[in-house]
Amino acid sequence: MAKLLKARVVITSPNNPPLSGGAVLVEGERIEALGAFEELKQRFPEAEIVDFGESILFPGFVNLHTHASMTIFRGLADDLPLMTWLENYIFPVEQHLRREWVYWGAKLAIAEMLRSGITTFVDMYLFEPEVIRAVEETGVRAALGEGLFDFPSPGYGPLEKGLALTRELLESYATHPRLKIIVCPHATYTCSPETLKKAAALAEEFNTLLHIHLSETRDEVALIKARYGETPPFHLEKLGLLNERLLVAHAVQLTDEEIELFARRGVRVAHCPESNLKLGSGVAPVVALLEAGVLVGLGTDGPASNNDLDLFGEMRTAAFLQKGLSFDPTRLPAEKVFEMATTFGARALGFEELGFIAPGARADLAVVSLAAPHLTPFYDPFSLLVYSARGGDVTDVMVGGEFVLRGGKILTFDEEEARRQVIEIAREVRALTKKG
């Protein structure tokens, strides 16, 4: 049955004025109509009315880069440089990674993301079929792929098997309504040029995205320069990998020439400001990238380097950083950073029917209740969502026309069970790190 969703204000897209007293008619997985509540009620008398009361209804967020299952490592090792963190803590523990850990870690992450208004996430990790299982069961939307490395992976063994697994997933999920398989070589320092070329060929064959960590730290840039004589972007350019199919995470250490090159090649960027700050990597030149015409969305990165999965926090941090570093408070205003978290993220994934509210768009929506001290009073919805709201303020979430969070309760799975399982897994992880 069609649903008529009513809120105090509906944000349709950052480029349109918010709709006061507005409503959205959802039929099946799509938005059928948008307008004043009374008018839609007359046009669609059969529709079930869902009144969110004093609230803002907005397009669900797109988390453009994460490793969801790393919830199991949240707070395990903090305050370390990226390479020390990876090589001394994360990679050794990941050698013992088990399928069920990835599954439960992903489920917990999905609970956290839904509660933060995230309806789509991009995931690169190990044992990715387990993340797929979690996505299918929970009703969220995702673009994901198995992380590929030159060294043997606990997920698939030797690289050739990782490429074969990726191909198998690309074939199996080609028509899934909520899943898009992407090809995920981990980074230029963990993948040889041959690996990168094979991954890119696979992405091209299946017309999907290639997703990689790139130019995250100064050390990485120095390492790639020493190894290949080029910076990471020019290394990929030489290999013929810079194009509209490429989604890079981070892009912190970029020169003006590289920004220009990204714009020319149509490369997409997932900006992960809190992870970059926590790992001391620096601040991505977001305004320069946007001004050059590069599509930039927002990501949380993995919950072990953030340490949460809350895009409200990322929006605020992204905006504040650009203002603070430039001594210019007009930079990256609330509407623009909201656009990065919604429309730009969706477009970066090639999801043209997501990230905004309009007839014909897919019904991926979130609701923030205004009934909280820190959300009072209410003047401007963008200001409120970007500068005052946080994940816990989301009361309702719909993905593809189905409620997954309703009145603060997750409907599609047992969130408490995911918490209990991850608490158990953490006991085993702790034992492993003590042994090391």
> Which lies closer to Zn ion via its Cβ, residue 254 or residue 405?
254
Burial (CB < 10 A; 0-12, 13-18, 19+), residue 271, is: buried
- DSSP letter string, 105-159: HHHHHHHHHHTTTEEEEEEEESSHHHHHHHHHHHT-EEEEEEEE-SSPBTTTBSH
Return the bridge partners of 180, or none: 143
Residue with tokens 């623009």: 336
Number of CB atoms found within 10 A of residue 434's CB? 7
For the CB of residue 272, give the shortest distance to Zn ion in the complex, in Å: 7
How near is the Cβ of 68 to Zn ion at its closest, in Å?
Answer: 11
Q: Where does this chain touch Zn ion (CB under 5 A) — which range of 281-289, 298-306, 370-378, 387-395? A: 298-306
Q: Does 146 bind Zn ion (CB under 5 A)?
A: no
Other CB atoms within a 10 A radius of the CB of residue 92 amount to 14
Choosing from 301, 310, 314, 393, the residue that interacts with Zn ion (CB under 5 A) is 301
Only one of the segments 47-55, 256-264, 294-302, 396-404 lies at the binding site for Zn ion (rule: CB under 5 A); that segment is: 294-302
- Shortest Å distance, C-beta 217 to Zn ion: 12
Closer residue to Zn ion, CB minimum distance, 259 or 304:
304
Give 379's contacts (C-beta < 8 A, 6+ positions apart): none
Q: Give the interface segment with Zn ion, choosing from 80-88, 299-307, 328-336, 374-382 (CB under 5 A).
A: 299-307
Nearer to Zn ion, 128 or 301 (CB): 301
Sites for Zn ion among residues 28-47 (CB under 5 A): none
Can you say whether residue 214 is alpha, beta or left, with left for phi > 0 and alpha for psi between -120 and 50 degrees?
beta
Q: How far is the CB of 42 from Zn ion (least distance, A)?
A: 49
Smallest gap from residue 270 Cβ to Zn ion (A): 9
- Count of residues interacting with Zn ion (CB under 5 A): 1
Binding mask 242-281 for Zn ion (x = CB under 5 A): ----------------------------------------
CB of 216 to Zn ion, least distance (A): 8
Contact 131, 102 (CB under 8 A): yes
Long-range contacts of 198-203 (CB under 8 A, 24+ apart): 198/163, 199/148, 199/163, 199/166, 200/239, 200/240, 200/241, 200/245, 202/163, 202/166, 202/167, 202/170, 203/245
SS3 content of the chain, % helix, strand, coil (to 5): 45, 20, 35
Q: How far is the CB of 302 from Zn ion (least distance, A)?
A: 6
Stretch that binds Zn ion, among 277-285, 300-308, 374-382, 426-434 (CB under 5 A): 300-308
CB nearer Zn ion, residue 268 or residue 331: 268
CB of 67 to Zn ion, least distance (A): 6
Q: Which of 419, 392, 423 is nearest to 114 (CA)?
A: 392
Identify which of residues 301 and 396 has a Cβ nearer to Zn ion in the complex. Answer: 301
Residues in the site for Zn ion, rule: CB under 5 A?
301
